[in-house]
Structure 1
Amino acid sequence: MTGELTTPVPTRWVGPLHLSGDVAGEVEVPLATYESPLWPSVGRGARLSRLVPDGIRVSVVDERMTRSTLFIAPTAAAAVAAGRDLEDRIEELGAVVQDRSRHARLIEIDTEVVGHLLFVRFALTTGDASGHNMVTLAAEGLMDHILRGHPELAYGSISGNYCSDKKATAVNGILGRGRSVVAEIEVPAGLVVEQLRSSADRIVALNTRKNLVGSTIAGALRSANAHYANMLLAVYLATGQDAANIVEGSQGITYAERRGEGDLLFSCTLPNLIVGTVGNGKDLPFVEEALERMGCRDAGAPGSGARRLAGIVAATVLCGELSLLAAQTNQGELMASHLVMERRSATQS
């Protein structure tokens, strides 16, 4: 270390967003980004949420953090037998975790055998922490305990990549890692025209052709969206998250459906949101201020602060995603907006 960079990333508060469901009320969101058009784009989605009675409905589906350990067995048969034994001893292994942590709780064990290699994926709840270090500490204790009970196994690695951390994989969407959240909004036909300058039919068609078909031919992995990563990075930087987790966080699916006489049902499903309100980076003054202002500090029972933050993040993603797709239904609008907004920012600076 030769010094610290103190140049801040440009940050603005956007909103408020009107939320209901598992996260309710009106909340402003900080976005740290060099892409200045992101602020008014998310702002348009936030404005729309305030014009709809239920706003953006948030559903928190699941929450867990994972760490996969790697053991080396003498044979494939030994690896299979050990894996089955571990899955049957989850209560015993859960007690090992509780001896090492006040907050971590073991909730699931999944195993995979490749040749004579045994991969064991532990899933834990971690309270208000994102849980990277917490699950690694728990995994160390579990490995020690397992190696004592299974002398035929040898240590392979504390992390076997079956977790899977900061990599685009299928396993996280299937088995879960982080907070799984769905944000949805139902927009009356008149507001789609007035606020988005589009229609439900055009947005649904674009979502199918661009996000679903386009992502498929590109080889996307459990992902069909326009730009989740933009909103995720902006919120992550402003709230002290590990920004590298946007790799798996941006794996999500945008869904759009026409209802009634032209109303638009629009949702964003984000199964791998890794966020926390305590831990590394959360004691920085600007992060403390942001989390406090968003109502994510002292939000209630352990885990409720991070759960609220995950819901807010998902709703923010929806705002930016809907705004961008609506713009792309109109030829020339996206580029024209960028030119106007970025030139204005350059002039102001």
Structure 2
Amino acid sequence: MSAEGITPIPTRWVGPIRISGDSVNEEVEVPLATYESPLWPSVGRGAKVSRLVEGGIRATVVGEKMTRSVLLIAPDAQTAMQAVRTLRERGDELAEVVSGTSRHARLLETHEEIVGNLLFLRFALETGDASGHNMVTRAADALLQTVLSWDLGLEYGSVSGNYCSDKKATAVNGVLGRGRSVVCDLLIPHEIVESTLRTSASAIVDLVVRKNFVGSTIAGALRSANAHYANMLLAFYLATGQDAANIVEGSQGITYAEERPEGLYFSCTLPHLIVGTVGNGKDLGHTAEALERLGCADPSAEPGANSRRLAVLIAASVLCGELSLLAAQTNPGELMAAHVAMERRGGGTK
């Protein structure tokens, strides 16, 4: 550790990646902080493919919300259910409570679960450009005080009841959404698959089915079928000041591919990217510079736009690395040979 208390992690800018969509329509280089040096050229190869395809990687943001679940204790299930009915009737009041905790917080939805005499309430909020961990906790504290003041026969259990679900691999985040939900896809002509990825569309489709879907199923994966989303997520998170523990849920996602007459259709779906462009870790020198270079620190942007852009760039980087690794694994020996070659010479190039 250096004298300043900073642990250095090798970082390189990879790309550029060609991206199109509502949030990004340009070619952008991305920072990856990692000790696994072969990751740079691997993502770089996927980025090269994106630049060879018209429109590059198409990125679609399909949802944005941050959640916190609270736990309340009732004497019995009947009391808990009656409380739920009251909460639904007074939803506008709950929304006002949330809005009063932050100028960026807005209550989007509430989901309830009753287990015995336990009442779990999962609140989903809009949180602007923040990832929203503290914002939703502050709102949850205020909501608890309000609900308990209504004298519904409930007692305090916890400000976080694990139905959120934060930094844990769960099904609820994939079903209901948490953070930014992004789908990236592209259609790669057969000649580019063969020349740049040194494989075929059919080989990649077969591997996606056999490895990602069947292999993940027998391993007991939870709403997840991918090769290595966590690698790109951690590298990007560390380079931009994100809470790295959120790769636990962030790496749950699905890679899907089809062989079509015109080429290989390849997609990555990431339903819960917990990222932000303001808050803890974003004002450090290197992370602030990275966010600025990425175009994710625009003070004139509407609330949420900077973080939306960041989520798209992260998802596109995930696709680049996922595509490149799967292509390598269709060829016997290629993966290990690449690791040995790259690590011996201290990393790869863009």
* TM-score interval (norm. to shorter): over 0.9
**Equivalence map 1:65-144=2 (5 Å):** 65-144=66-145
Find the residue that maps to 2:157 and give its secondary structure: strand
User: Are 1:320 and 2:321 an aligned pair?
Assistant: yes
Find the residue that maps to 2:168 and give its secondary structure: coil
Cα deviation digits, residues 6-61 of structure 1 (max 9, x gap) = 23100000011000012211111000000000000000000110111110000000
Given that 1:69 and 1:139 are in contact with CA atoms closer than 8 Å, whether structure 2 keeps it comes out as yes
**Equivalence map 1:1-349=2 (5 Å):** 5-22=5-22, 23-261=24-262, 263-298=263-298, 300-345=301-346
Given that 2:83 and 2:152 are in contact with CA atoms closer than 8 Å, whether structure 1 keeps it comes out as no
My pick for the range that moved more, 147-156 or 202-211, is 147-156
Query: How many Å apart are 1:84 and its aligned residue?
Result: 2.5
> For 2:86 and 2:65, how far apart are their aligned partners in 1?
23
Q: Percent identity?
A: 70
Find the residue that maps to 2:125 and give its secondary structure: strand
> For 2:151 and 2:313, how far apart are their aligned partners in 1?
44
Aligned partner letter, 1:18: R
What do you get for the CA RMSD once the two structures are aligned? 1.3
Query: How many Å apart are 1:243 and its aligned residue?
Result: 0.2
My pick for the range that moved more, 155-164 or 299-308, is 299-308
Given that 1:82 and 1:150 are in contact with CA atoms closer than 8 Å, whether structure 2 keeps it comes out as no
Query: How many Å apart are 1:89 and its aligned residue?
Result: 2.2
Cα deviation digits, residues 121-144 of structure 1 (max 9, x gap) = 000000000000000000000000
**Which consecutive unaligned segments of at least 5 residues does structure 2 have?**
none
Aligned partner letter, 1:143: L
Query: How many Å apart are 1:90 and its aligned residue?
Result: 2.0
Find the residue that maps to 2:345 and give its secondary structure: helix
> For 1:154 and 1:235, how far apart are their aligned partners in 2?
41
> For 2:287 and 2:90, how far apart are their aligned partners in 1?
40
My pick for the range that moved more, 16-25 or 185-194, is 16-25
Query: How many Å apart are 1:150 and its aligned residue?
Result: 2.8
> For 1:11 and 1:331, how far apart are their aligned partners in 2?
29
Find the residue that maps to 2:281 and give its secondary structure: coil
Given that 2:258 and 2:265 are in contact with CA atoms closer than 8 Å, whether structure 1 keeps it comes out as yes
Cα deviation digits, residues 236-280 of structure 1 (max 9, x gap) = 00000000000000000000101115x000000000100000001
Aligned partner letter, 2:243: D
> For 1:182 and 1:340, how far apart are their aligned partners in 2?
33
> For 1:73 and 1:227, how far apart are their aligned partners in 2?
43
Aligned partner letter, 2:249: E
> For 1:327 and 1:282, how far apart are their aligned partners in 2?
35
Find the residue that maps to 1:193 and give its secondary structure: helix
> For 1:97 and 1:47, how far apart are their aligned partners in 2?
45
> For 2:89 and 2:308, how far apart are their aligned partners in 1?
30
My pick for the range that moved more, 37-46 or 81-90, is 81-90
Q: How many residues align?
A: 344
Normalised by the size of structure 2, how large is the TM-score?
0.96
Aligned partner letter, 1:97: V
> For 1:39 and 1:24, how far apart are their aligned partners in 2?
23
Query: How many Å apart are 1:181 and its aligned residue?
Result: 0.2
> For 1:343 and 1:90, how far apart are their aligned partners in 2?
60
Cα deviation digits, residues 276-297 of structure 1 (max 9, x gap) = 0000111101111101111111
Normalised by the size of structure 1, how large is the TM-score?
0.97
Query: How many Å apart are 1:151 and its aligned residue?
Result: 4.3
Given that 1:110 and 1:121 are in contact with CA atoms closer than 8 Å, whether structure 2 keeps it comes out as yes
Find the residue that maps to 1:160 and give its secondary structure: coil
Query: How many Å apart are 1:232 and its aligned residue?
Result: 0.1
Aligned partner letter, 2:94: L
Given that 2:71 and 2:121 are in contact with CA atoms closer than 8 Å, whether structure 1 keeps it comes out as yes
Given that 1:207 and 1:254 are in contact with CA atoms closer than 8 Å, whether structure 2 keeps it comes out as yes
Find the residue that maps to 2:28 and give its secondary structure: strand
> For 1:295 and 1:264, how far apart are their aligned partners in 2?
30
> For 1:5 and 1:39, how far apart are their aligned partners in 2?
26
